[in-house]
Structure 1
Amino acid sequence: MEDKTNKPCSILVVEDDEGLARLIAKSLKNTGFDVGVVHNGVQAVDRVVNNPVGLMLLDYKLPDMSAKQIVDTLKERKFEIPFIIMTGHGDERVAVEMMKAGARDYIVKQGEFFELLPSVIKWVFEELQSKMKLAQANRALEESEKKYRSFVDNALVGVYKANLKGDILYANKALTRIFGYKSPEEMMLDNIRQSPENEKNWKILIDKLQKSGEVKNLEVKVVTKTGQTINLILSGSLAGDVLTGMAIDITEKREFERQLLQSEKLKAMGVMAAGIAHDFNNVLAIIQGNAQLLQISGGDDNEELLNGLRTICRAVKDGTETVRRMSEFTRMEKGTSKFVSVNMLEIVKQAVDFARPKWKDLAHASGVTYDLDLEGLNSVPDVLGKPSELRDVITNMINNALDAMPEGGRISFRMWNEDNTVCTSISDNGNGMSKEVQMSIFDPFYSTKGVEGSGLGMSVAYGIIEKHGGKIDVESQVGKGTIFTIRLPIAVETIHAEKSPEPVNDISARASNYRVLVVDDVKEISDLLNMFLNRQGYNVDSVESGAEAIKMLEKESYDLLLCDLGMPEISGWDMIRATESLERKPKIGLITGWADKIESLKNEDMGVDFVVGKPIDFSILSGHIKEALIIE
C-alpha cells in the first residue's frame, strides 16, 4: 500500500467539541507540533486525502462517523495514517477494538489528559521514526547482499546450455552439484526430464521463452538424480534453438523462511493467547458460576440435570486448561509436576461423550450417520498425566476422523497393554492421507483443512503426548482411512488426582457477622459472586468499578474485599494500595482472569490473603474466605 504520510511531525486533531479541540491544538502547538483541527469524519477524510499528515488524534465517537469508519474509509483510498484514539470513558472493549484496527495508542480524556498527551504523541512519533530507520537499514542490507552475491555468482550459480528437447549441452560444476551428478559429463548424458515434475517445469520454461525470448526468476521445484525435491530459481534466454541460462538452488533459503514463518506464527499465537485469556476466562467464569449455583440450589431430585451441570463444569475446567496450554505451547514450556494417575479407558469414554454433539446430534440433523465401535476398548493399567490434556488429544482425533468422513462412516477404538505401555488406537474409514501429508501432519500450522484449519490440533496433540513420555504414530492410505496410535508408559506409582473441593457447607449463621465488598467490572460475574455469598449468609455489597469501591470503603467498614485484578481506570493493584490508608483494613482476596499470573501472585508478598483464578470454583473460594476470616 502506498505510503502518503509526507509530514512526519504534523498532527490532525479530529474532535467534535470545538472548545476541547482548540485546547488540544494549543497544547500540542506549544510543544512544537504542526497541528490542524477538524470536527467531523467527512472533514477528516477530506483533509487527509488532500493534505496527508503524520498522525491523527481521533475522537472515538463523532457526529457523522466513528473513528473506525474514518480509518476504514482512508484505507479504502490507500491512505495508511497512524492514529491515536481519544475517548471520554476508559472502555477495555473499545481499546481492544481500536488496537486491532491499528491504533498506536489509546488515551482517556480525563484526569491528566493534557499532561499525558504530548508525551504519548512524542512516543508514537519516535516509534514511527524507529520503524522508518529500520526499513531504511533493511533496504541498505538488501543492497549490500546484492553486491555480495555478485562476487560469488560464479561459484554458487549453476550455468547451462540446452536445446528445446531438454538435452543438456553444457553444465558447470555448480549445476552438476545442484542436480546430484558426479561430473558435468554424467549430467549431459542423462535425461533430466524423466521425472513428471521436471517434464512439467521444462515445458513451462520453454513456453515462456518462446513467448518473450527470456525468463527471469522463475521459481520451480525439480527432482534431482537422487530423487530429492529442491527449489530452483531459473533465468535464461533463447537464441534460435539453444537455451542459455542460470539456476540458483534456494532450497535452504525456503526452508529457513518456513522455519522463520513458523517462529513468527508462534510469537503471534503467544500474543493472541495472552490477549484472549482474560476475556475467555471471564466468559468461562459466568458459565461455571451459574452451573454451580444451579447445582447448589437444584437439590438431588433431578439426576439428569445434575449430570448435565457436572458435564458443563468439567468442560469449563477443560476450557481453562486449553487457554493455559496454549500459552505453554507458544512459550514452548514443558512440565510434569502436576501429573496424576489416569485411567485411559475413562478418558476415551469421556472424549466420546464430549464429541457427541458432532458425531450424533449435528450429524443426524444433517442426515449423516457415524458408527462408533467401542468393542475394542479393554481395561488397562493407569498412566501418569493430565486428564484434561489427554482428553483433549482423544477428542481432537475423534473430530479429525469425523472431518475425514463428511458423508458418514465408522470410527473404531482399541486399547491394549504392550511392553509396559498402554496403547490406544483410533481408526476411521475416511479419505486417508498421502505419504507427504503423513510426514507433515504433526508440524505446527500444517493443516489439510484449508482456511478452516489452524494447523495446531495435531502439533499440540504431538507435544502433549511427548510431554507425557509417550509416542503418537499414524498409518494411512489414500481412500482407505487412517489409524492413529498413542502409546503411553504405565504409571510405576499411583498419584491420586486432587480431591474435588468439599461441598459448600451452610455457614450462614456465622457468615452473617461479616461484611464483604465485591468488585468486578463484568456485571455478570459481580452478580454471581453477590448471589453466592448472599446464599452463604454474608452481608454483601457489589460494585462494578474501582472508583465506586473506594468510595464504599471510605464510608463503610468491611471484613473482606473481593476484587478483580484487571479493571479499567482503577485496577486491583490500585485497590490494594487504597486499603493501606483505611483505619480498619479488610482482608483481601484477588480474582484474576490472567491464568499465567496466578502462581506468581501467590508467591508475592503484596498484603493479599488469597488469589483465585477465573473461572471461579465456589467451593475453593468459600474455603479461602473461611480461612481468611477464620470462620470455623
Structure 2
Amino acid sequence: MRAIGSVARLAGRLNLVQTFSILSLLCVVALSSALGFVATEAISRNMLDWEWRVTAEIVRARVRRDGLDRLFVAAAARQQPSRFRQALEPLLELPDVVRVKAWGPDASVLWSDDPGIIGKTFPDNPELRQALAGSVSAALEAPPKPDNDLERRRYGRLAEIYIPIADPDRGGVGGVLEVYKDADGILDRIDAVRTTVWSVCLAGGLVLYVSLFWILLVSERGQRRLERNLTRTLEELSAKNSALDRLYEDSQRALAELRHAQEQLVRGATLRALGQLSAGAAHHLNNLFAVVLGRLGLLLDAPQPAGVAGQLRLMEKAMLDAAEVVRRIHTFSRMQPVEDRQPLDLRRLVDDVVEMTRGRWKDEMQARGVTIDVIVEAEEVPPVLGNETSLRELLMNLVLNAIDALPAGGRITLGLRAEPDGVRLTVADTGVGMAPEIRRRALEPFFTTKGVRSTGLGLSVGYGIVQRHGGELEIRSAEGRGTVVMVRLPFDGAPAGSRPVEEGAGAPPPARPLRALVIDDEPLVRETVGTMLQRLGHAALTAASGPEGLALLEAGERVDLVLTDLGMPGMTGLEVMRRIRARWGGLPVRLVTGWADAERMVDVDPVFRDAIVYKPLTLDALRVVIAEAVAARA
C-alpha cells in the first residue's frame, strides 16, 4: 500500500509533458535536418550530373554534324588556330556557354580566346586527364588553374566541362573540347530545389512534432485521470486499513488459540508416522542383527586364535550397540506415555478428529464420486482423565476404519454419552460390516483384511490404549449391516492391573539335550537359530510358517520347546501359541520377535506377554530361554 502511494506521488511531481516536448522537438529537428541535408545533396549531385551529360551530348552532336572532330587530327588546323576559332564559334550560341577551348591529346592548348596560352601544355589539370582517358569530367567553380586566369577575371561562377572528342580514323581520343558555362542559372535552380526540399522536411517535422505532442496531451490527460482514480482508491484502502488491522489482530488471537491444538495434531501425526516407520525398520534390522549376532556367537563359542577372538568380540559388541540404538530410536518415536494425563473434553476431541479426517471422508471420497456423511451425536459429558494424543489416535483409527468400510459411500455416526461411572464413545458406520470370524480376530495384532496397505496394528493398538485408560472396547458388526465400535472410559482413567515383564537373568544349561521347533518366515534367522541350538547340544526342527510347524507337531514329532516368530504371514505367532496350548497343553512356547514394542501389541491377550523374547537373540540369551522353558515345564 505504501509503495503504491509513493509511486503515485512521484508520478505527480514529474512534468512529463514538458520533458517529452523538449526531447521530441530536438529529435524532430535533428531528423528533419538530416533528411534535408541528404536529400538536397543527392538532388544537387543528380542535377549537375544531368546538366554535364546533356551539354556533352549536344556538343558531340554539333561536332559530328560539322565535322569538327577532324580538326583535332589535321596538321594544318594545328598550324592555323584561326580555323578552330571559325569552327568553334557556333558552340557559343548554346545556352549559358561563354567560352570554348580546344585541347590536343598531349594536353596542349590548340585554341583559346587567350592567345597567350595557345600551344602551351598543362599536364597537371586533373579534369583534362580524365577527359583524355575518355570520360566526361566537369568542375564547378574550379580552383585556380594556370590556363583559366582570363575566365576568373571575366566571370563569377563557371562550370568547366571537358568533353572527349573521338578520333574518326584511328579511334581513341583525338582531343578535348572544354566548354565554359555560366553556372549561375544551374546553381540558382539547385538553390531553389534545396529550399523546397528543406521546406518540405521542416514542414513534415513540424507535422510530426504536432502529432506527437497531441498524442502526449491525450495520454497526459488520461494519466491524470488515472492518478485521480488511484488517489481515491488509496484513500479508500487507507480507510479500510484500520479494519484490516483489527481483523489481523483478531486472527492473531484466533491463531494463538489454535496453536496449541495444531502442535498437538502435528506432534501426534508425526509421531504416529515415525512410530510406524521405526517399528517396521526395527523389526527388519533386528532380524538382520539376529543372524549376525547368532553367527558371531557360534564363532566365539568355538576355539579361535587369540587375535581372531578379540576381533569377533569387538564385532559382537558393535552389533549389540547397534541393536540398542535401534531400540532407543523406536522408544523415542513411540507416542506419549499414557501416564501423562489431564482432564479432557471429549466433545472437542471428537470435533478435532472429524476435521482432521475431513480430507479423507469428504474431499478424497468426493473426488471418487462417493459421498460419506459424518454425523456427531454428542451429549454434554464431564471431562475424563486421559492422554489426549493416545485417545486422538484411537478415535482417528476408528474413523479411518469406518471410512475404509464405506467404499460405496454411506454414513458415519460419532456418539458421546455419559454413564454412571464414565463416558461411552461410539463410532458407527453403515458399511460392509464384518463376518463373525473377522470380528473375533479384529483385535489381534498383525491381523488385517486390507492386504499390504495395512500393518494390522490399528485396532490392537487402540485396544491397548483403552486398556491402559482402564476402559473397555466392544465391537458389534454383521456382514452388510455396518459396524459399531463402543469405547467406555472411566472418569478417573485408572488403568487395568498389569504386571511387569520379568527378564531372565541367566540359568544353568538343562541336564539333557532338548529337541526344539524353530518357526520363522526368514530363512537366515531360522537357519541361524537352529545352528545355535545345535551348538548348545540340542536338536532343532525348522518350519517356515505357523501351519508348517503345527503340521510337524501333528505328525508326532517329539518337541520339548517351540520358538516361533511373532509376526508372520498367514498365521501369527500368537495364533500358533494359542493352538499349541489348546492342543498340547504345557509344551513351552516362546514368541521371538523383532518388533521393539511387542508387549504393547499383545496387550489384547496379556497371558502371552511372559512368552516374548526380543531379537537379536544371542547364544547366552538362548541358553537362558531354554533353561527357563525347562524350569517352567518342570
Please report the TM-score for the alignment, with normalisation by the length of structure 1. 0.33
Structure with the higher fraction of residues in strand conformation: 1
Structure with the higher fraction of residues in helix conformation: 2
Q: Does 1 or 2 have the higher relative contact order (CA < 8 Å, sep 6+)?
A: 2
Task: Please tell me whether Structure 1 or Structure 2 has the larger radius of gyration of its CA atoms.
Answer: 2
